[in-house]
Amino acid sequence: MAIEIKVPQLPESVADATLVTWHKQAGQTVTRDENLADLETDKVVLEVPAPVNGVLKELKIVAGTSVTSGQVLAVLEEGAGAAPSAAASSPAKPAAATPAAPKATAPTAPAANQGDKLAPSVRRMVEEKQLDPAKIPASGRDGRLTKGDVVEYLDQPAAKAAGGEKSAASKASAPVAGAAGRQDQRVPMTRLRARIAERLLEAQHTQAQLTTFNEIDLKSVMDVRAKYKEGFEKKHGVKLGFMSFFVKAAVEALKRFPLVNASIEGSDIVYHEYYDIGVAVSTDRGLMVPVLRDADLQSYADIEKNIGSFATKAREGKISLEDLTGGTFSITNGGTFGSLMSTPIVNPPQSAILGMHATKERPMVVNGQIEIRPMMYVALSYDHRIIDGREAVQFLVTIKDCLEDPARLLLGV
């Protein structure tokens, strides 16, 4: 029985999607729940699973095409016995395909098999460079190919000589400028990158954004972490990081200054009486901000586990739209990349975002004595239309106080 494979129902906020990659080609056998294709929206990558076992009879849409909810992508012939009958139903195929079959199928079979394990960013790189994933040594978990593996492979002399497995004809037709052979590569933005660019411009054009700074002595937090990290990990099965301290401090500050947790809707100010904290995660596809729901009710262990889970899902392209929806306040940590100071951009309709930065040892005056202390600059970017400088400064001071004396977080003082 022939079954139509359709675009799944897209969320209300998503009008269409782009068919990025087919993992299976017409004539190939598929199993139930196997991923057939990737659909990229402006927020997440969605998988299109096979509803039953069978043979992929026909592809209706080519990669790179925009599609909408319910649109037919392919036709699947149900049942394991569908392959022979499909071949038999094509009278012209045996005669024409017999001599060409080895050339057409031999090189692509390994890539199709390996392709099922590739993350979207790795798959995109492999396809752009026209590489065979089966020939690239994989160092990732469970034998998965990573972006670093592809980069390292391309850096090898053999790969460079092969030009990323491009044919000599394609090389000959490549545009070359000047004696040095310099050339440009033009690729379209992904939907996510285009959406990020759109939202950043929207934020700057629709909000009166301002940034205030402070610095935090993290010695007390580092001492607590060093003292309890082994017991914490043994009991909860997750490492005790710094982010959980910052999330807890942010929740405390948001409780004291509700305007920072509010948003503007038309001519109204909406005060949110819950604390859904977005935590920025950097991926190969761009910056994503999954949301910790009811962060005030989560323990330190819950926060660390959820952030770790979000990071893994985001980098594997498996994060859901629900994970990214909402949020009343955000935290971004440029310190993981070495940033010493920056002015983060607010994520509308939120009204503020906290920026963390690298921790550096600096000489500080403590009780009249100069001591070397682990210091971090923090930044709060905020919508000046509803948040005044007084609230912004006091908000950061509250976070500073909570982190320089972590007991405040336990006592709520």
Catalytic residues: 384, 388
Residue 260, C-beta contacts closer than 8 angstroms, at least 6 positions apart = 253, 254, 329, 351, 352, 380, 382, 387, 391, 392, 395
Token code pair at residue 96: 């024409």
Nearest CA to 55 out of 33, 88, 26 is that of 26
Residue with tokens 């004595």: 369
Residue with tokens 């004396």: 405
Distance CA 290, CA 273 (A): 19
Could you give phi then psi for residue 30, rounded to 5 degrees? Answer: -130, 155
DSSP sequence for 13-64: T---EEEEEESS-TT-EE-TT-EEEEEE-SS-EEEEE-SSSEEEEEE-S-TT
Task: Please report which helix (H) or strand (E) contains residue 110, including its range.
Answer: helix 108-115
**Is the Cβ–Cβ distance between 392 and 380 less than 8 Å?**
yes
**Is the Cβ–Cβ distance between 8 and 81 less than 8 Å?**
no
Name the CA dihedral angle for 238, 276, 357, 148, rounded to a multiple of 10 degrees.
60
Distance CA 278, CA 190 (A): 22
Distance CA 332, CA 357 (A): 9
Q: What angle do CA 139, 140, 142 make, to 5 degrees?
A: 110
DSSP sequence for 144-210: ---HHHHHHHHHSHHHHHHTTT--HHHHHTS--BTTTTB-----PPPHHHHHHHHHHHHHHHHS-EE
Distance CA 145, CA 118 (A): 6
